[in-house]
Amino acid sequence: MTPTAAQTSSPVSLARPRTLRFASLRSLMFEISESQYKPVGQDNVSIAGRTYPRVVLDTLRGAVATGLIGPNDEIVSVYHRRIQHGYPTPSLNRENVLREALPALKRHDVWSRGRFGSYRYEVANQDHSLMLGVEAVDGILIGSREMTLNHANIVNASKNVDMRWGRGGS
């Protein structure tokens, strides 16, 4: 599909792509939060003869307005999925709840880890999630401490300065 600056009721108009230039393709993913305090449009709108929730059109308009995509860029596909409870949202009481919930689960041999499992967003990127798994297995097998889960301030305190990529493979 192609967003264009057509003179319609919206600043984004989608049409079928003519040709794909694979070298210039890129993928963008937008995650839109909503709550009772920040509702998003779920009513249906027509875009290029297809029906989408209004939030899709609003997101495309925002992407054009911020320069993430150009008004004449081709949009090859759109995938929309609404998840009722997508992310764990930290609250002021989060640590108190986790101090009880995670050990209670562990007593039943459930090691709840990862972005959605441990509810610690500050240690929930891909690298952290991998280490949460490694450390959980090490904890199960040899009883080692889980630094990533329990000490975000330590694991996030420094950056890698030992290994650098440079010319000549160094």
Q: What does the mean pLDDT of the chain come to?
A: 80
End-to-end CA separation in angstroms for the chain: 43
Supply 132's token pair: 């949460």
pLDDT in tens, 121-136: 788 888 888 899 999 9
pLDDT in tens, 75-129: 888 999 998 876 666 788 888 989 999 999 999 999 999 877 888 878 888 888 8
Task: Say if residue 42 is exposed, middle or buried (CB neighbours under 10 Å; 0-12, 13-18, 19+).
Answer: exposed
Taking only Cα atoms into account, the Rg of the chain, rounded to an integer number of angstroms, comes to 22
Give the bridge partners for 132, in sequence order: none
Confidence of residue 61 (pLDDT cuts 50, 70, 90): very high
Alpha-carbon distance 56 to 79, whole Å? Answer: 9
Q: What is the mean pLDDT of residues 136-157?
A: 91
| 5 has a pLDDT exceeding 60 | no
Q: Containing H/E element for 139?
A: helix 126-142
- Higher-confidence position of 64 and 22: 64
Q: Which amino acid is at 121?
A: Y
Torsion sign over Cα 106, 123, 39, 92: positive
Q: Which amino acid is at 151?
A: H
Q: What is the mean pLDDT of residues 6-16?
A: 42
Give the bridge partners for 51, in sequence order: 46
Q: Are strands 50-53 and 44-47 parallel, antiparallel or unpaired?
A: antiparallel
pTM of the predicted structure, to 2 decimals = 0.51
Closest Cα to residue 122, out of 151, 143, 100?
Answer: 151
